[in-house]
């Protein structure tokens, strides 16, 4: 079965020039998203997942961020496109939902006006037709009384409602790819579940691919088909979601799993991963996880492993799998 690759990222490297050093926040990551697929990108704060998603939209500041590598969307090289063509891609073919629904809507415009604006920007519709589409979209994302809500200002809505509005806004032009940057982090658990349900429903209805950027493995398990685990600007593991949860390979992923509380087991203390992510200005020469790894070997401290294929569709950046070996214990 060959599936169409909607987005293909190759050897993406993102560096920021600071006053006295160049900091490489994302170091040579490659991944792809199939049409209609949901890809999860997991990792802790500062591992480069948000920067990766912003670079796909080309929203990083031009004067400080240096992007190398290739990002192909529908066969087009995104990094080479002139700015005017990017305006056509943003919001129309690739759209984005942000982490903070409380601050992602402009407080001085009504909800209706903000969604209308996106429609008028990308689709050749009159103001009246745009408003009809807006109302229709708000109804689809489960907002009660859309006729009243369009006249409201963002401060009059709750966080969950605002995130629904953001989803409506991002999907109104039927984009091929939706990048959701921690869409449920700022919401409480009940609303989180509602928003995830909604996103799943929308994916089914509109057939969009989703990149789900999150640090919540629960969200990944519920939403995604494939997962990338990122650590310190690199992909450390890439697998189908079932394979990842059933059989995590990389010591970092294993550590992440161990640090999640489980309902069916009674443990007095969760097992944390010792230490901290090394700063980008001072990365260890070998494997970036080596200083925190419980199974560290001499080789790990000197050489950074490449992404090795462990099983079909399951890749892992760890010397333990150099000869197809497994995790002891």
Partner 1 sequence: MSQSVTSVNVAGSTLAPVSVHSQMTQFLHRFRRQKMAIIAFGIIVVLFLLALIGPAIAPYDPFKPDYNILLEPPSSTHWLGTDEFGRDLLSRIMNGARISMVVSLSSVFVGSLIGTFFGLTAGYYGGKYDSLVMRTCDVMLAFPGILQAIAIIAILGPGLQNVIIAVAIYTIPVFIRIVRGSTLALKNMMYIEAARATGITDRLIIWKHIFPGTFSIVLVYFTMRIGSAILIAASLSFLGLGAQPPLPEWGAMLSSGRQYLMSAPHVALFPGLAILITCLAFNLFGDGLRDALDRKIVE
- Which one of the spans 90-98, 223-231, 266-274, 301-309 is the region binding partner 1 (CB under 8 A)? 90-98
Strands 22-34 and 177-181: unpaired
Residue closer to partner 1, measured from CB, 120 or 296 = 120
- The site string for partner 1 over 168-187 (x = CB under 8 A, - otherwise) reads -xx-----------------
Q: Which two tokens stand for residue 127?
A: 């103001």
Query: CB count, 10 Å around CB of 20?
Result: 6
Residue closer to partner 1, measured from CB, 150 or 235 = 150
Cβ atoms of 149 and 157 within 8 Å: the answer is yes
Q: Tell me, what DSSP letter sits at residue 62?
A: T
Distance in Å, CB of 101 to partner 1, minimum: 9
Cβ atoms of 170 and 86 within 8 Å: the answer is no
Site for partner 1 in 19-58 (CB under 8 A): 57
Binding residues for partner 1, rule CB under 8 A, total 40
Site for partner 1 in 151-170 (CB under 8 A): 151-153, 156-158, 160-161, 166, 169-170
Q: Which two tokens stand for residue 47?
A: 């591992």
Q: For residue 70, what are the contacts with CB-CB under 8 A and spacing of at least 6?
A: 8, 9, 10, 11, 12, 77, 79
222 in contact with partner 1 (CB under 8 A): no
Indicate the helix (H) or strand (E) that contains 14. Answer: strand 5-17
71 in contact with partner 1 (CB under 8 A): no
- Of the candidates 209, 292, 216, the one whose C-alpha atom is nearest the C-alpha of residue 261 is 216
One residue of 13, 30, 74, 100 binding partner 1 per CB under 8 A: 100
One residue of 76, 87, 270, 322 binding partner 1 per CB under 8 A: 87
How many H helices and E strands in the chain?
Answer: 11, 12
One residue of 24, 27, 38, 95 binding partner 1 per CB under 8 A: 95
Site for partner 1 in 102-121 (CB under 8 A): 103-109, 117-118, 121
86 in contact with partner 1 (CB under 8 A): yes
- Which one of the spans 40-48, 91-99, 225-233, 295-303 is the region binding partner 1 (CB under 8 A)? 91-99
Match 């745009």 to its residue by tokens.
130
Show the 3-state SS of 100-149: CCCCCCCCCCCHHHHHHHHHHHHCCCCHHHHHHHHHHHHHHCCCCCHHHH
Q: Is 215 helix (H, G, I), strand (E, B) or coil?
A: coil
Q: Which residues bind partner 1 (CB under 8 A)?
A: 57, 59, 63, 86-92, 95-96, 98, 100, 103-109, 117-118, 121-122, 148, 151-153, 156-158, 160-161, 166, 169-170, 188, 190-191
């Amino acid at each position: 079965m060959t599936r169409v690759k909607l987005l293909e990222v190759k050897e993406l490297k993102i560096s920021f020039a600071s006053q006295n050093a160049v900091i490489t926040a994302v170091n040579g990551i490659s991944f792809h998203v199939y049409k209609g697929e949901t890809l999860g990108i997991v990792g802790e704060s500062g591992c480069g997942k948000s920067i990766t998603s912003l670079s796909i939209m080309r929203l990083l500041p031009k004067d400080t961020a240096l992007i190398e590598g290739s990002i192909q969307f529908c066969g087009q090289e995104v990094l080479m496109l002139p700015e005017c063509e990017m305006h056509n891609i943003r919001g129309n073919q690739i759209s984005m939902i942000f982490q903070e629904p409380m601050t992602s809507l402009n407080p001085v415009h009504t909800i209706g006006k903000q969604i209308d604006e996106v429609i008028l920007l990308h689709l050749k519709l009159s103001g009246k037709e745009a408003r009809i589409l807006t109302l229709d979209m708000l109804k689809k994302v489960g907002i009660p009384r859309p006729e009243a809500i369009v006249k409201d200002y963002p401060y009059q809505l709750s966080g969950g409602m605002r995130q629904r509005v953001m989803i409506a806004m991002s999907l109104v032009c039927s984009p091929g790819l939706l990048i959701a940057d921690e869409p449920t982090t700022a919401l409480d658990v009940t609303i989180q579940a509602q928003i995830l349900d909604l996103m799943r429903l929308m994916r089914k209805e509109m057939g969009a691919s989703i990149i789900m950027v999150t640090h919540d493995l629960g969200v990944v398990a519920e939403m995604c088909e494939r997962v990338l685990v990122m650590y310190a600007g690199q992909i450390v593991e890439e697998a189908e979601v079932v394979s990842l949860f059933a059989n995590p390979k990389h010591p970092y992923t294993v550590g992440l799993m161990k640090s999640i509380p489980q309902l069916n087991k009674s443990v007095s203390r969760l097992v944390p991963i010792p230490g901290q992510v090394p700063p980008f200005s001072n990365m260890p020469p070998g494997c970036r996880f080596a200083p925190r790894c419980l199974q560290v070997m001499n080789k790990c401290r000197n050489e950074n492993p490449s992404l090795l294929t462990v099983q079909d569709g399951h890749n892992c950046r760890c010397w333990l799998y150099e000869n197809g070996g497994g995790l002891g214990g």
